[in-house]
A and B are shown apart, each in its own frame.
Chain A
């Protein structure tokens, strides 16, 4: 079923919307949640929460690309869950991903503004992505948007895991330089 039709089901308050969403995107959402969260139970719970959030927000929202709308929700919910799990010291793969992103953040000892609105930071990320070629962009977003592991990315694009790790490290350093250049930190 096409996204427009699924969205129409949400808007007409048909429960079939959730069924069709799960049918079309359940596996994709479970992959993201499963890669970020430490247990299958956590991931399944979050994916169910995504369906509920979609039900609660459409309408008034009318997403043009449902997949991206849902993927943003699942990421938000996963990071919220990770914050909660951090207190219990059981973050799983999400902690690894966050520690990698920590490397991208310039020296935090400086006194310039270290916090940016998510939208501003998003603009910077989009600019950064625009400087990359498509293959690097895919690898980078597969890791930091879809939360895929290096072996999964290697399998997806036909690289070795070592190549993927090397390119991710290189891209993280490039992002750090970009952030420094933009004055996020000295």
Chain B
């Protein structure tokens, strides 16, 4: 037996053991968050958050967006400071009246390239994660308004909050085994925006993901509920708290 064969056999390690590595990483981040604060703040000081910082962005035809750097922090004060530096004039509380409490913030530097691979824009995005006592989690992603083409999906619900239109979408996925033949009814279902049939699962599983989206002239906001189990009124209430 060669060492490479033994090394490759490590790919058969049970997921449960690999998951232990994740847990310890999480603990490490918690333990050492003080050390990380200063690094993140230094980065924030030199990068203009949430605004497109470079190049002729108004003419840019962006082909792909890639996050080159990201960092996590579990300190709410860091989220506040990042928002201030980014000029985000919204109210993002440590705890919403809906019971969702701040967990951590992720920052990332996004680079956009055109068809030829030229760097045409950079911006910072923030994603704040919140969890309630029932273990439900939502994330709020904040990035500059990139003036993308409009969403063709029809929102399940809409509200106007402080002059801003807030749309609630639910995407439905039906995961099916290979070779699955969709019925005529399912084929019609797939034609509806937001409905997707996905091959590759062992059995038929249906999943739904919910998003509450809104844009301002400067920024783009999206609250994601990856279970679609949270009452949309709860998400709308959170949006109302965020939008002053």
User: Which residues of A does B touch, CB under 8 Å?
Assistant: 1-2, 4-5, 8, 11-12, 15, 19, 22-23, 26-27, 58-62, 65, 67-68, 71-72, 75-76, 79, 82-83, 97-99, 101-102, 104-105, 108, 114-116, 118-119, 121-123, 125-126, 129, 134, 137-138, 141-142, 144-146, 156-158, 184-185
Contact yes or no, B5 A121, CB < 8 A: yes
Looking at the assembled complex, report how far the CB atom of B211 sits from the nearest CB atom of chain A, in whole angstroms. Answer: 10
Q: Which of A58, A118, A138 contacts B11 (CB 8 A)?
A: A118
> What is the 8 Å Cβ interface bit string for chain B, positions 1-24, against chain A (1 contact, 0 not)?
101111111111111011111101
Contact yes or no, B9 A125, CB < 8 A: yes
Contact yes or no, A122 B13, CB < 8 A: yes
Contacts of A115 in B (CB 8 A): 1, 5
Looking at the assembled complex, report how far the CB atom of B173 sits from the nearest CB atom of chain A, in whole angstroms. Answer: 5
- Nearest to A103 among chain B residues (CB) is B3
User: How far, in angstroms, from A97 to B13 measured CA to CA in the complex?
Assistant: 17
Contacts of A129 in B (CB 8 A): 13-14, 17
Contacts of B64 in A (CB 8 A): 15, 19
Contact yes or no, B108 A125, CB < 8 A: no
The verdict on B103 contacting chain A, using a C-beta distance below 8 Å, is no
Q: Which of A11, A99, A145, A156 contacts B13 (CB 8 A)?
A: A145
User: How far, in angstroms, from A113 to B4 measured CA to CA in the complex?
Assistant: 17
B189-244 CB contacts (< 8 Å) to partner A: 196, 198-202, 207, 209, 224, 226
- Nearest to A116 among chain B residues (CB) is B1
Question: Given A4-B226, A104-B6, A122-B11, are A11 and B198 neighbors across the interface (CB < 8 Å)?
Answer: yes
Contact yes or no, A97 B7, CB < 8 A: yes
Question: Given A23-B108, A156-B25, A184-B1, are A60 and B200 neighbors across the interface (CB < 8 Å)?
Answer: yes
Question: Given A19-B65, A118-B5, are A126 and B18 neighbors across the interface (CB < 8 Å)?
Answer: no
11 A-B interface contacts by CB (under 8 A): A8-B171, A8-B198, A11-B175, A23-B108, A62-B202, A79-B4, A101-B7, A116-B1, A122-B9, A126-B12, A129-B14
Contact yes or no, A144 B10, CB < 8 A: yes
User: How far, in angstroms, from A39 to B237 measured CA to CA in the complex?
Assistant: 50
The verdict on B66 contacting chain A, using a C-beta distance below 8 Å, is yes
> What is the 8 Å Cβ interface bit string for chain B, positions 50-79, against chain A (1 contact, 0 not)?
000000000000001111001000000000
Question: Given A15-B64, A23-B70, are A125 and B12 neighbors across the interface (CB < 8 Å)?
Answer: yes
Contact yes or no, A27 B4, CB < 8 A: no
Count of B interface residues, CB-CB < 8 Å? 45
- Nearest to B199 among chain A residues (CB) is A59
The verdict on B84 contacting chain A, using a C-beta distance below 8 Å, is no
Contact yes or no, B200 A11, CB < 8 A: yes
Q: Which of B17, B70, B207 contacts A126 (CB 8 A)?
A: B17
Question: Given A27-B70, A141-B13, A142-B21, are A2 and B226 neighbors across the interface (CB < 8 Å)?
Answer: yes
> What is the 8 Å Cβ interface bit string for chain B, positions 21-49, against chain A (1 contact, 0 not)?
11011001001000000000000000000
Contacts of B178 in A (CB 8 A): 59-60
Contact yes or no, B67 A23, CB < 8 A: yes
Contact yes or no, B14 A1, CB < 8 A: no
Contacts of B171 in A (CB 8 A): 8
Contact yes or no, A58 B200, CB < 8 A: yes
Q: Which of A2, A58, A134 contacts B20 (CB 8 A)?
A: A134
Contacts of B139 in A (CB 8 A): 1
10 further A-B contacts with Cβ under 8 Å, apart from A79-B7, A98-B3, A121-B9, are: A62-B202, A76-B11, A82-B4, A83-B4, A97-B7, A102-B3, A119-B12, A126-B17, A129-B14, A144-B7
Contact yes or no, B6 A105, CB < 8 A: yes
Contact yes or no, A61 B10, CB < 8 A: no
User: How far, in angstroms, from A11 to B176 measured CA to CA in the complex?
Assistant: 11
Contacts of B19 in A (CB 8 A): 65
User: How far, in angstroms, from A142 to B21 measured CA to CA in the complex?
Assistant: 7
User: How far, in angstroms, from A14 to B4 measured CA to CA in the complex?
Assistant: 35
